[in-house]
Chains A and B, each alone.
Chain A
Amino acid sequence: AQRVTQPEKLLSVFKGAPVELKCNYSYSGSPELFWYVQYSRQRLQLLLRHISRESIKGFTADLNKGETSFHLKKPFAQEEDSAMYYCALSGVNSGGYQKVTFGTGTKLQVIP
């Protein structure tokens, strides 16, 4: 079974402070991990994926297989980063099809 845990429902930080949104996963195979973001009144959309190893809007996330984590980080938070963030894991189910499991989400609130 695959599982994604986001321990924080709400994370409040001041503008300019570092941000770390935690994500831990459980999966027996080789996972592919994603971070999705939902800004107010907008659709849920992909922020970044671990395979790309890219930085999007200043955010990065490193897959740590030893700790089974994929934490999202940004050195200096901006007000426009306030949103709901979901960590997601893509694996292959018993039928050989892609199955995506989402965490419960973390609401990031950046205080001016």
Chain B
Amino acid sequence: SQTIHQWPATLVQPVGSPLSLECTVEGTSNPNLYWYRQAAGRGLQLLFYSVGIGQISSEVPQNLSASRPQDRQFILSSKKLLLSDSGFYLCAWSGDMARSGRSYEQYFGPGTRLTVT
């Protein structure tokens, strides 16, 4: 069966420090991968999505970047964190619609709570 992992679960970082959040998927190949930020009252905001290794699309201009060095690994990074980067970050995966022509449900990880101080 497929599983999705995220770490760390919680992180407290000072302003100006770098960030690296990791997401890995097991039990499937060539998944679509997504990074979301979940904020109270603002719902789920799509930050990045990836349809393959090295293929990253950004939805919102910001202080963050994403990379996909391996098929089932998705990393969210920042060189210098801002206070506004605090939030709950979710990674998700889905099947590849481009191959099947149908939309797949998304499977979410447990999330990372980031607090920038």
Contacts and interface: CB of A to CB of B under 8 A. Distances in A.
Contact of A101 (B46, B92, B108): B46
B10 interface: no
Given A43-B109, A43-B110, A97-B32, A102 B43 contact: yes
A6 B36 CA distance: 18
A44 B90 contact: yes
Interface residues of A, number: 25
Nearest to A105: B43
A49 interface: yes
A104 B109 contact: no
Q: Is the interface of A mostly helix, strand, loop or mixed?
A: strand
Contacts of A90: 97, 103
B28 interface: no
Considering residues A36, A45, A104, which has the most beta carbons from chain B within 10 angstroms of its beta carbon? A104
A44 B105 CA distance: 11
23 contacts: A34-B105, A43-B110, A44-B44, A44-B108, A45-B107, A45-B108, A46-B105, A46-B106, A49-B105, A86-B43, A90-B103, A97-B49, A98-B94, A98-B97, A98-B98, A98-B104, A99-B46, A100-B34, A102-B36, A102-B46, A103-B43, A104-B41, A105-B43
Given A86-B43, A104-B43, 12 more contacts: A43-B108, A44-B44, A44-B90, A90-B97, A92-B97, A97-B32, A97-B97, A98-B32, A98-B97, A100-B94, A101-B46, A104-B42
Interface of B: 32, 34, 36, 41-44, 46, 49, 51, 57, 90, 92, 94, 97-98, 102-111
Q: Which 7 A-B pairs have the closest CB atoms?
A: A104-B43, A98-B97, A90-B103, A102-B44, A32-B103, A44-B108, A46-B105
